Amino acid sequence: MTRPPWSPTHRITVTFQTGTVQEWLVMMVLSTSGATEFWPAATEDEWRSRLTPKWACDFAGRWTWRGLTTPNGAPAAVTIASLVESGRIASSTQFIRMDVPHQES
């Protein structure tokens, strides 16, 4: 059985407290056997190499990186943006770790 081609569904942007910004394009993997509490979200490299995705979204729409709120648990602001109109899963969300100083706009 052939797997469907990788097609990104979400853009994850992480702005670390140091000012460094990282972005990931991921594809929600909805038909993963064994996923009972979350949907994995694979980067293109993870998808093509059949690696376990680092990002995931639970059924409540909370995103995690290897089970943490941010990569390696570092203080950061994370923004998730849907790239698909149907937006079946967590169409858009933003969360900020509490230990990151809040900046007024």
Summarised one tens digit per residue, pLDDT across range 7-23 is 999 999 999 999 999 99
Residue 41 confidence class, pLDDT cut points 50, 70, 90: very high
Q: Where are the domains of the chain?
A: 10-77
pLDDT confidence tier of residue 98, bands split at 50, 70 and 90: very low
- What single letter denotes the amino acid at residue 82? S
From the list 40, 51, 92, 100, the residue with the least C-alpha distance to 73 is 100
